[in-house]
């Protein structure tokens, strides 16, 4: 049985258990996850006993080529509704991200509730998915080393451009998010935007590649002064001990607490202003995540980042990030050193 068929069968079981007859998906990566076809325009994927995708006319050749699910050309909302009603569908589950403009077209004809069936499926990665994430990571890390950041005299924007170019040259389809190259006081901004200025100290780079549709994510911070090294050491301790704490059965919030408690013990708890990590896959941010409020139990097959940070407003920031694959314990994907000298 194909992995995608298994995903469909698992969702059909969830639907049956909850009394729904169909599940509506429109998010591009959800459609791709279920069918192998990634829309370029729009698509309505309906998981039911005989799943179907309604694709735009401009996507029909692509959809027929890639989809493991039957594809029909989209004609109208009314046509979809009529066909669902003809099949006796009365209760329709939707993904939580369904656009409101789509929801209002279905709400008068069906009993609707949002369900996270697809998110639950995507939490656990297959060996093939983990291999793609690994290859994406290796491409990104190789490109970073080729960049030779410590001997680069370009501006932040130029360096970000060069890193993206190197990732593509090394086999990535593109970067997995807007590459962050920042330095000096701007490094205290977790989502800093590269500027047209020469690098100052410290240097923080957050980058990733997409390979085979799957994302990678790393962050490294290069530090110089005694105070920067002190903060780097604290963040590195939180990073390492959080990874060592990860095992099947531990709650995500407990992993977050490990990293957060270490940083708090050094009196920088209020300077750690985001969660400890997030899952990734076809999207750069997936669930679950290592956060204060996420009580999801860690399971084998999950792939999650660990990225503690300390941000001193107006001075500098330090973040260190690796992605881990979870089996009996957490294994760091890739072999890039944490400290770049």
Residue numbers of the domain that contains 27:
3-123
Helix/strand/coil for 321? strand
Specify whether 70 is located in the same domain as 135. Answer: no
Query: Do 177 and 315 belong to one domain?
Result: yes
Environment class of residue 75 by beta-carbon count within 10 Å: exposed (0-12), middle (13-18) or buried (19+)?
exposed
pLDDT per residue as tens, the chain (341 positions): 466 788 899 999 999 999 999 999 999 999 999 999 999 999 999 999 999 999 999 999 999 999 999 999 999 999 999 999 999 999 999 999 999 999 999 999 999 999 999 999 999 999 999 999 999 999 999 999 999 998 899 999 999 999 999 999 999 999 999 999 999 999 999 999 999 999 999 999 999 999 999 999 999 999 999 999 999 999 999 999 999 999 999 999 999 999 999 999 999 999 999 999 999 999 999 999 999 999 999 999 999 999 999 999 999 999 999 999 999 999 999 999 999 98
Residue that is last in its domain, among 95, 123, 151: 123
Taking the alpha carbons at both ends of the chain, their separation in whole angstroms is 48
Same domain, 105 and 174: no
Cα radius of gyration (the chain): 22
CATH assignment of the domain containing 192: 3.90.230.10
User: What strands, in cross-sheet order, belong to the sheet with 174-175?
Assistant: 174-175, 209-211, 214-215
With 0-12 / 13-18 / 19 or more C-beta atoms within 10 angstroms meaning exposed / middle / buried, residue 47 is: buried
Final residue of a domain: which of 123, 156, 177?
123
Q: Are residues 326 and 231 in the same domain?
A: yes
Helix or strand run (H / E) with residue 139: helix 127-147
Clarify whether residues 92 and 147 are in a common domain: no
**Do 156 and 244 belong together in one domain?**
yes
pLDDT tens column, 120-144: 999 999 999 999 999 999 999 999 9
Residue 97: Cβ within 10 Å count: 12
Residues 115 and 186 in one domain: no
Q: Are residues 134 and 211 in the same domain?
A: yes
13 in any annotated domain: yes
Contacts of 283 (CB under 8 A, 6+ apart): 29, 215
Residues 198 and 57 in one domain: no
Residues in the chain: 341
- Is residue 339 in a domain? no
Give how many domains the chain has, as a whole number.
Answer: 2
Q: Which of 123, 150, 166 is the last residue of a domain?
A: 123
Residues forming beta bridges with residue 306, ordered by sequence position: 322
Among 245, 328, 239, smallest CA distance to 277 is for 239
DSSP string, 162-224: HHHHHHHHTT-SEESS--EEEEGGGGGSTT----SSB--SSEEEEE-EEETTEE--EEEEE--
Domain match, 101 and 186 both = no
**The CA-based dihedral angle spanning residues 173, 323, 182, 198, taken in that order and rounded to the nearest 10 degrees:** -70
Q: Measure the CA angle with vertex 305, ends 27 and 161; round to 5°.
A: 75
Domain with residue 80: its CATH number is: 3.40.350.10
Which tokens go with 114?
Answer: 């949002």
The answer as to whether 337 is a domain residue is no
| Tokens standing for residue 9 | 């069968």
């Amino acid at each position: 049985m194909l992995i995608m068929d298994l995903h469909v069968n698992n969702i059909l079981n969830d639907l049956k258990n909850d009394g729904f007859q169909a599940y509506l998906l429109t998010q591009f990566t959800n459609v791709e996850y279920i069918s192998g076809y990634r829309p370029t325009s729009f698509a309505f994927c309906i998981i039911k006993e005989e799943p179907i995708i309604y694709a735009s006319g401009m996507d029909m050749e692509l959809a027929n080529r890639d989809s493991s699910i039957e594809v029909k050309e989209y004609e109208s909302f009314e046509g979809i509704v009529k066909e669902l009603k003809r099949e006796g569908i009365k209760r329709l589950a939707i993904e939580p991200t369904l656009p409101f403009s789509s929801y209002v077209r279905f709400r008068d004809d069906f009993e609707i509730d949002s369900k996270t069936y697809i998110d639950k499926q995507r939490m656990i990665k297959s060996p093939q998915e983990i291999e793609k994430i690994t290859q994406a990571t290796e491409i990104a890390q190789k490109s970073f080393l080729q960049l030779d950041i410590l001997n680069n005299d370009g501006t932040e924007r130029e360096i970000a451009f060069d890193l993206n170019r190197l990732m593509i040259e090394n086999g990535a389809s593109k970067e997995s998010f807007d590459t962050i190259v920042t330095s000096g006081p701007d490094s205290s901004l977790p989502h800093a935007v590269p500027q047209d200025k020469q690098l100052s100290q410290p240097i923080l780079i957050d980058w990733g590649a997409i390979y085979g549709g799957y994302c990678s994510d790393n962050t490294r911070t290069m530090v110089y002064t005694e105070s920067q090294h002190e903060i780097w050491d604290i963040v590195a301790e939180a990073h390492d001990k959080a990874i060592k704490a990860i095992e099947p059965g531990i709650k995500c919030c407990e992993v977050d607490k490990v990293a957060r408690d270490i940083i708090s013990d050094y009196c920088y708890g209020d300077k750690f202003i985001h969660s400890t990590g997030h899952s990734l896959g076809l999207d750069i941010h997936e669930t679950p995540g290592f956060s204060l409020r996420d009580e999801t139990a860690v399971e084998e097959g999950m792939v999650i980042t660990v990225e503690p940070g300390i941000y001193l407003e107006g001075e500098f920031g330090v973040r260190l990030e690796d992605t881990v694959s979870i089996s009996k314990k957490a294994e760091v994907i890739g072999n890039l050193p944490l400290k770049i000298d």
